[in-house]
């Protein structure tokens, strides 16, 4: 029960923080829609063209905007010492990583998930594809959150080169993108592709607490 | 063979072989260039642009080979705790990146007359581009991480993960039906290439290898020295 | 309860201190003194298992601290030399976050009392980044009360405070001591706090 | 002469901060290319598709990179007090805004500008469009830098009513991007569109020192 | 040279202080004292024209400060209560940036001497974020030397320092006074610095 309470307390804090940074969430979403407009304008108004490209566009923008928020992942809490306070309050570095990953998923990815239906209207994505898009995105975005956790904890030690972390995430997410977009375009293979994606998710999810926790520990030691 | 894993042994051997390797590479280069420009025939389809091959193919092979060796050294360093692996990887990554860049540039130069475009998004070209980015990430990580002990482990793991890309580069032409030339020279059975083209190709390949080794020796030695000063 | 035995610490191959011995029993207030750079902060961090000692060991309740870490953490509050309150939120919001985060069962009226004695009650709705430096520091002390743990580890708690506030902190320390709590803190300042032991680094 | 020296000293500092070396500029460029990869993977490799989207991709990435770097614009210097030190060293808030805007343009946008020719090879953008892309990009990216300056200085004040600052600016940038993309797609109108863009640039450039300077002053006063 | 006349300051409709009078002549060292929140930092910022007074005025060389601002700035160095060195860069890099940024003509050997007396010379290649708190503070003082201005405005320069360093700062103050410089600083600590005037807020 205490553990559950602690987890709830953790998320209460995250919630307060993220809401005071509510504009960041909004900025992400607005970025998402503005870019969709850019694409529509550069493609021209023909419906078929748009709907062919729609899914690819949604996926890339999702990836890019989650890299946008990487800096918030640990950096702020690290700099004002709150990461340490969390640790001293009984959260091992690994569990901090897991909780933070879920929090990123919750406060950064879920808003996107919610805005997908609207985006799909703009992009003329067929209704029957929407479900596949949702499924692949739910899995894929969680993988991205895990990768984001790993790379931004690595960046706490690196500190100089902020973009490097984003690049690493992006390189690793190439296969995810390929599979996810594949899911939607080749519906026959849906099951096998989704299970590959799920496999990747499990691997990344298992690695995440170790890798991120290790980096968090090291960077707090050296601060 | 101890010099391949032991820094001080490496230094000894390197002092011996550096000059011969350098001289050999210059000679091989001279002969190779001579062959590729004057002593080999034009291709009946491709005309004289085929001569780009003598740069393109060796650099492509070496780009892959370098990464393969780096993967090997990562395993040695991580699993068998041989720090020389880290030294080697730090020193050699830029060399691999340069080979990859040469491969890409020469390939594009070749692609323009052959395919009518500098670049297409077929599987091989894409995977080579990714290989290049992986090399760059390795270099950037080496430059920007502060804590060396962590850095080299992280980089080694990254190299291991990135090695997934190698078979994709190598076999993409067989797995997917792409624009790029399938294996004609490196086929396990009989190569389907004319011997008159084979000779300069082999010579150039050796020239590239020798140059690679020479630069690698220099870089590994400086890396060893910089670590020594760090420790003392 | 905490015993530090022959602790030596190196960072980047540079010795920071050697063979420090220390024991923190209940009801004890221990003051770390030393020049700038003598390793006070480092020692406090080592006690929190954040820095690997190059030799020596730290024990908690007779066992190696490292083996018993989260039990130790559940009894410790640490205040670093930088403040941790969130500067973009108000005092009130910060307190609320702390209360929830530390699952604190301190009543609101208790907190109000303390805010009043610390003279922070008038700033409840002010953003932390518009507080004065000393006020931010005082706000940080609220965590000691909210967390309500037995061991306090404080890095330079007295700097930037006026004499009156230092006296208040001194009283709080006495209170805590009388409840069998223990405190280890570092300081450069002379103060009237009655310490059980001074350790010079 | 002293003024010139001061400006040079300002940029020396910016250079040192933004780039702990040449590798950081390179990282920016690599980031740009990796994002192009991502787009292509999610869209699929067919030439025509890519060349339709090419210009949209370049512009989205531009927008993304300016949003990504907004936090660096003033936030860091504000928090560690260096904005104040600059001011006390004789730079009025308005001039700080101008210099910072140029610095953002120089260190964030120019690297993109340089890599456009290579990108256009990858994205299959026709050579004759390249010139238009360049022209619109040079103007547009500078406008984005100015807008970025305004929005991030607004964000320093972090008062509730300015919560929407960055979003308003993003919405502002929509017409700019539409114009810029339009320039390239409708070549006949090149001259008139580029002069509209230039007009916007002048307006934004003139507003920037006032707006940003005002926000900077207010937020330093209240800190 | 600086004359503060009947200065009152309000923030968010709350009076912080009223009718403060002060004059800073050359060769003067002025110490601001007062409780936490009494407005020391606010006064210093008002002198730097960063805060609008609600009544009263500040004069510089006989003219209203506001009208003569950049002339004033060209003679002032301000050290705030937080350090401004860039934590991700090394001590050396920070010094270089300052030297270029302030167009300083201080020679390298002079800087080395000062680093040596401040005992910072061994940390030249260390990142600022790995320095101890006091060391970061001492590093900040280097700006006083590098900027080489006549008027120093310092907010709590003595906190977090050991006695030895405080003595060093005291000497530096004396040096500056003897060169007709003037200093206005705030502090909570007693020290042996020989001030010309104490102002209680
Ligand atoms: C930028 C574009 C190009 C890239 C990145 C590229 C990459 C590569 C790579 C990585 C290899 C080595 C593969 C292996 O070891 O099996 C290779 C081999 C080769 N490439 Fe390219 N290439 C490019 C363009 C071209 C073009 C345009 C041609 C000719 C039309 C060409 C002809 C060849 C040939 C003949 C081989 C030897 C194949 C063999 O026998 O293994 N390449 N290329
Ligand atoms: N990662 C590191 N590498 C090298 N030296 C370090 C590192 N971290 C800290 N140090 C050095 O260790 C010494 C001790 O630092 P510490 O912060 O413990 O001092 P302190 O006693 O708390 O000083 P202060 O009174 O100034 O706070 C300092 O000289 C600091 O420069
Ligand atoms: N924007 C603001 N709105 C309301 N009150 C403010 C604002 N900014 C500062 N204050 C209040 O003004 C008072 C004076 O603050 P100041 O920082 O000048 O105090 P100080 O004398 O420097 O104190 P310390 O010794 O703690 O540094 C504080 O009580 C602070 O809460
Ligand atoms: Mg300390
Ligand atoms: Mg103050």
- Higher per-residue confidence, A163 vs E8: E8
Beta bridge partners of E9: E17
Least Cα separation, residue B130 to chain A (angstroms): 8
Distance B99 CA to ligand 1 centre (A): 13
- Give the pLDDT confidence score for residue B231 in this predicted structure: 46
Band the pLDDT of D162: cuts 50, 70, 90: very low
Is pLDDT above 70 for D163?
no
Element at D82 (helix H, strand E):
helix D82-88
Residues of chain E predicted below pLDDT 70: none
- Whether C42 is in the pocket of ligand 2, judged by its Cβ within 6 Å, is yes
Q: What is the mean pLDDT of residues D27-39?
A: 86
**Binary contact (B144, A154; C-beta < 8 A):** no
Least Cα separation, residue C190 to chain A (angstroms): 27
**Binary contact (C81, E160; C-beta < 8 A):** yes
Separation CA D188–CA C188 (nearest Å): 74
Q: How many CB atoms lie within 10 A of CB E55?
A: 12
- Give the pLDDT confidence score for residue C14 in this predicted structure: 87
- Give the pLDDT confidence score for residue B176 in this predicted structure: 66
Least Cα separation, residue B18 to chain A (angstroms): 35
Is pLDDT above 90 for D120?
no
Strand order from edge to edge, sheet including C197-200: C76-79, C151-155, C182-186, C29-33, C197-200
Instruction: Count the helix, strand and coil residues of chain D and give each as a percent rounded to the nearest 5.
Output: 90, 0, 10
- Give the pLDDT confidence score for residue A182 in this predicted structure: 74
**Binary contact (A16, C93; C-beta < 8 A):** yes
Is pLDDT above 80 for D23?
no
Best probe of the D interface among E54, E75, E100, by most D CBs < 10 A, is E100
Separation CA B205–CA C82 (nearest Å): 60
Is pLDDT above 80 for A24?
no
Angstrom CA distances, A199 to A62, A103, A176, C34, C42, stand at 21, 22, 11, 55, 43
Q: What is the dihedral of CA D159, D163, D169, D171, to 10 degrees?
A: -160
Return the CA Rg of chain C: 17
Tokens representing B128? 């080579």
C interface residues, D as partner, C-beta within 8 Å: 88, 129-130
Distance E182 CA to ligand 3 centre (A): 25
Beta bridge partners of E33: E200
Is pLDDT above 70 for D19?
no
**Binary contact (E134, C188; C-beta < 8 A):** yes
Q: Which of B206, B184, B183, B176 shows the shortest CA–CA distance to B65?
A: B206
- Contacting residues of A for B146, CB less than 8 Å apart: 157-159, 222
Per-residue pLDDT tens listing for chain C (201 residues): 899 999 999 988 889 999 999 999 999 999 999 999 999 999 999 999 999 899 999 999 999 998 989 999 999 999 998 899 988 889 999 999 999 889 888 899 999 999 999 999 999 999 898 899 999 999 999 999 999 999 999 999 999 999 999 999 999 999 999 999 999 999 998 888 888 899 998
- Whether C140 is in the pocket of ligand 3, judged by its Cβ within 6 Å, is no
Q: How many CB atoms lie within 10 A of CB A114?
A: 10
- Whether B131 is in the pocket of ligand 1, judged by its Cβ within 6 Å, is no
Element at E11 (helix H, strand E):
strand E2-11
Q: What percent of chain B has pLDDT over 90?
A: 41
Q: Token match 């980096």: residue?
A: A215
Least Cα separation, residue A36 to chain D (angstroms): 9
- Contacting residues of D for B178, CB less than 8 Å apart: none
Q: What is the dihedral of CA A201, A202, A204, A209, to 10 degrees?
A: 130
- Contacting residues of D for B122, CB less than 8 Å apart: 45
Q: Which range (A46-50, A102-106, C67-71, E73-77) has the least confidence?
A: A46-50
**Binary contact (B130, D37; C-beta < 8 A):** yes
The beta-carbon neighbor of D42 closest among A22, A38, A177 is: A177
Out of A51-65, A177-191, E164-178, give the one with best mean pLDDT. E164-178
Q: Which of A211, A223, A7, A201 shows the shortest CA–CA distance to A97?
A: A211
Angstrom CA distances, B89 to B8, B79, B154, stand at 17, 15, 12
**Binary contact (C164, E134; C-beta < 8 A):** no
Q: Supply the DSSP symbol for E187.
A: -
Q: What is the mean pLDDT of residues B73-80?
A: 92
Return the CA Rg of chain E: 17
Residue in A closest to C87 by C-alpha: A80
- Whether C37 is in the pocket of ligand 2, judged by its Cβ within 6 Å, is yes
Q: What is the dihedral of CA A96, A102, A105, A111, to 10 degrees?
A: -110
Strand order from edge to edge, sheet including C55-60: C14-24, C2-11, C55-60, C63-64
> Looking at the CA of C155, which ligand is closest?
4
- Give the pLDDT confidence score for residue A187 in this predicted structure: 66
Sign of CA dihedral B79, B85, B86, B92: negative
Distance D96 CA to ligand 5 centre (A): 26
Q: How many CB atoms lie within 10 A of CB B166?
A: 17
End-to-end Cα separation, chain B, in angstroms? 28
The beta-carbon neighbor of E97 closest among D16, D80, D89 is: D16
- Higher per-residue confidence, C153 vs D63: C153
Distance E99 CA to ligand 2 centre (A): 25
- Give the pLDDT confidence score for residue B232 in this predicted structure: 39
- Contacting residues of B for A171, CB less than 8 Å apart: 130, 133-134, 137
- Contacting residues of A for D71, CB less than 8 Å apart: 71
The DSSP-derived string for C14-65 is: EEEEEEEEEEE-TT-EEEEE--TTSSHHHHHHHHTT-S--SEEEEEETTEEG
- Whether C129 is in the pocket of ligand 3, judged by its Cβ within 6 Å, is no
Sign of CA dihedral B111, B116, B117, B123: negative
- Give the pLDDT confidence score for residue A21 in this predicted structure: 65
Residue-wise pLDDT tens digits, E100-126 = 899 888 899 999 999 999 999 999 988
Is pLDDT above 60 for D159?
no
The beta-carbon neighbor of E37 closest among C34, C132, C188 is: C132
Distance B180 CA to ligand 1 centre (A): 6
- Higher per-residue confidence, B64 vs D38: B64
Q: Decide if E43 contacts E27 (C-beta within 8 A).
A: no
Q: What percent of chain A has pLDDT over 70?
A: 94
Least Cα separation, residue A85 to chain C (angstroms): 8
- Whether C34 is in the pocket of ligand 3, judged by its Cβ within 6 Å, is no
**Binary contact (A160, D20; C-beta < 8 A):** yes
Q: Which of C93, C81, C79 shows the shortest CA–CA distance to C143?
A: C79
- Which subunits count as partners of chain A given 3+ CB pairs below 8 Å? B, C, D, E
- Higher per-residue confidence, D135 vs C24: C24
Beta bridge partners of E76: E151
Band the pLDDT of D161: cuts 50, 70, 90: very low
- Give the pLDDT confidence score for residue A20 in this predicted structure: 65
**Binary contact (A160, E88; C-beta < 8 A):** yes
Residue-wise pLDDT tens digits, B105-140 = 999 999 888 888 888 888 888 899 999 999 999 998
What rounded mean pLDDT belongs to chain D? 82
- Locate all alpha helices (DSSP H) within chain E, ordered by sequence: 40-47, 69-73, 91-101, 108-117, 133-147, 163-178
Q: Which of C120, C186, C136, C115 shows the shortest CA–CA distance to C156?
A: C186
* Residue A205, Cβ density class (10 Å: 0-12 exposed, 13-18 middle, ≥19 buried): middle
Longest CA–CA separation in chain A, Å: 58
Is pLDDT above 70 for D180?
yes
Cα D186 from chain centre: 24
Q: Which range (A66-75, A115-124, C180-189, E120-129) has the least confidence?
A: A66-75
Q: Supply the DSSP symbol for C159.
A: T
* Residue E1, Cβ density class (10 Å: 0-12 exposed, 13-18 middle, ≥19 buried): middle
Is pLDDT above 50 for A115?
yes
Residue whose CA is closest, atom 7 of ligand 3?
C130
């Amino acid at each position: 029960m205490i553990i559950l309470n602690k987890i709830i307390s953790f998320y209460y804090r995250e919630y307060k923080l993220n809401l005071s940074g509510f504009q960041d969430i909004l900025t992400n979403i607005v970025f998402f829609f503005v870019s969709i407009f850019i694409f529509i304008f550069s493609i021209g108004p023909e419906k078929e063209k748009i709907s062919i490209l729609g899914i690819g566009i949604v996926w890339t923008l999702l990836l890019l905007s989650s890299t946008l928020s990487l800096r918030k992942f640990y950096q702020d809490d690290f700099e004002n010492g709150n990461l340490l306070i969390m640790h001293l309050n009984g959260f091992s570095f690994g569990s901090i990583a897991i909780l933070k990953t879920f929090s990123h998923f919750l406060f950064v990815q879920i808003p996107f998930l919610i805005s997908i239906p609207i985006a799909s209207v703009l992009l003329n994505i067929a209704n029957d594809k929407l479900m596949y898009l949702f499924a692949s995105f739910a899995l894929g975005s969680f993988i991205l959150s895990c990768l984001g956790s790993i790379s931004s904890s690595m960046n706490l030690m690196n500190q100089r080169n902020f973009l490097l972390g984003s690049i690493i995430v992006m390189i690793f997410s190439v296969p995810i993108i390929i599979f996810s977009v594949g899911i939607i375009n080749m519906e026959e293979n849906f099951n096998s592709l989704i299970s590959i994606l799920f496999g990747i998710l499990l691997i990344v999810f298992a690695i995440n607490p170790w890798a991120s926790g290790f980096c968090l520990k090291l960077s707090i030691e050296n601060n | 063979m101890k010099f391949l894993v032991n820094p001080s042994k490496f230094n000894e051997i390197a002092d011996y072989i550096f000059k011969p390797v350098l001289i050999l590479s210059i000679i091989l280069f001279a002969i190779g260039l001579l062959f590729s420009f004057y002593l080999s025939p034009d291709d009946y389809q491709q005309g004289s642009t085929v001569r780009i091959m003598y740069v393109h193919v060796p650099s492509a092979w070496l780009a892959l080979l370098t990464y393969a060796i780096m993967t090997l050294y990562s395993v040695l360093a991580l699993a068998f705790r041989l720090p020389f692996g880290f030294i080697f990887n730090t020193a050699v990554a830029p060399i691999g990146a340069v080979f990859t860049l040469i491969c890409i540039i020469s390939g594009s130069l070749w692609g323009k007359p052959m395919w009518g475009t500098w670049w297409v998004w077929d599987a091989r070209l894409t995977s080579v581009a990714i290989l290049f980015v992986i090399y760059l990430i390795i270099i950037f990580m080496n430059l920007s991480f502060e804590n060396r002990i962590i850095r080299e482990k992280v980089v080694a793991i990254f190299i291991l993960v990135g090695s997934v890309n190698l078979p994709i580069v190598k076999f993409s032409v067989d797995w997917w039906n792409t624009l790029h030339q399938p294996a004609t020279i490196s086929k396990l059975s009989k190569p389907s290439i004319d011997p008159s083209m084979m000779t300069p190709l082999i010579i150039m390949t050796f020239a590239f290898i020798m140059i690679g080794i020479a630069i690698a020796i220099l870089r590994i030695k400086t890396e060893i020295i910089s670590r020594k000063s760090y420790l003392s | 309860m905490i015993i530090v035995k022959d602790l030596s610490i190196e960072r980047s191959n540079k010795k920071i201190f050697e063979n420090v011995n220390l024991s923190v029993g209940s009801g004890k207030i221990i003051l770390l003194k030393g020049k700038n750079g003598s390793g006070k902060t480092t020692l406090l961090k080592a006690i929190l298992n954040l820095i690997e000692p190059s030799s020596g060991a730290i024990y908690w309740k007779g066992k190696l601290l490292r083996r018993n870490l989260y039990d130790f953490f559940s009894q410790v509050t640490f205040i670093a030399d930088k403040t941790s309150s969130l500067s973009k939120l108000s005092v009130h919001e910060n307190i609320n976050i702390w209360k929830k985060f530390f699952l604190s069962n301190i009543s609101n009226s208790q907190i109000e009392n303390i805010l009043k004695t610390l003279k922070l009650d008038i700033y409840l709705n002010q953003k932390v980044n518009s507080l004065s430096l000393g006020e931010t520091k005082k706000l940080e002390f609220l965590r000691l009360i909210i967390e309500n743990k037995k061991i306090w580890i404080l890095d330079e708690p007295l700097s930037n405070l006026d004499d009156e506030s230092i006296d208040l902190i001194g009283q709080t320390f006495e209170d805590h001591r009388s409840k069998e709590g223990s405190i280890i803190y570092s300081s450069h300042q002379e103060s009237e706090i009655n310490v059980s032991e001074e350790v010079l680094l």
